[in-house]
Structure 1
């Protein structure tokens, strides 16, 4: 498979690129900053320099020709303001879906956030004045992006991980529509994406995930 990863310089995206290439697939990592190209290439991926806040879906579709599936792993980052939570975490995800639909690419995997739908509507507005307010906008952005993807005629999977860790992969998880609050290594989130794509699992399923006791392929298979 040839898989495009939006947010290609993110920590999960870099891990996913390495896992995909090690498994014999082609990863195309979309990055905004040309300085990030060497980091992507070190993972065996091909870098595509493109700013998802500046392109339209026609331009992005032209650059993604030949892709079999797309992964949205982008994010505005912890130091960004409320407005970029919407333009990146929401709008860029929809742009990627628009481009995929133009290309006839049906497979779309979204990396979202646990409990995204629980945002406080009164605080999830722009402008926001505190870190807590910005986090509510982030949750709103994720929730609205997820809802939009669910409504499309795509073969989507929406993964909502708990707190992300930089620890070694465990390979076992707890999945469900909702699961208790917890953490998960970023490498295991990448492995979830890999198996969802390569084994064609969890299609049309949104789920939360933390570390647990079930091997990742079996956990995904149980979701349908």
Structure 2
């Protein structure tokens, strides 16, 4: 139930994706009509401010009624600081994927012409995720369990776009939930025990700051500064 948010310039996804054949209309604050009309209506209301596209998904194997999904969308809009009844939005449900989910297209300008600024930072999104799962009686994800060492912020699965990133993520999750490394040396040794080995090399950038690069089977994963955030 963690929201996935993007900010396209227009509501162009409505006709071909959100409201495609087989989608179920969940609700909204604009007139239900032809998908192209609804797209144009959102864009006109946004008046250059852009659109927010939000996806909410239930765990695999679970489904919600249309009424429950409508309540979830309304609650999520409130949690990100948008007045649900004064914000132009439309939601549609898809059940032809591996999980029951909804897409919500939101004009970033209210009906009164005011600019809307939803709060969608990682910390706020994680907190909202936790609140929604508890309200719905769903399992709370591991990264909300204070007893489980974790990376902070949590790794979002949909951002793991390549096989090396996925394997590195799995290795780090295993290490942080079983071995509890307290230093970078502990982390290095734990990574080296993974198969295949994951190597970390340090480099100096032009500002004299040390950065670290992880690689898996010779493939570059990501770089970045490592410091106290890796300590428990």
- TM-score of the pair, normalised by structure 1: 0.24
RCO comparison, higher one (Cα < 8 Å, 6+): 1
- Which has the higher Rg, Structure 1 or Structure 2? 2
Which structure features the higher share of helix residues?
Answer: 1
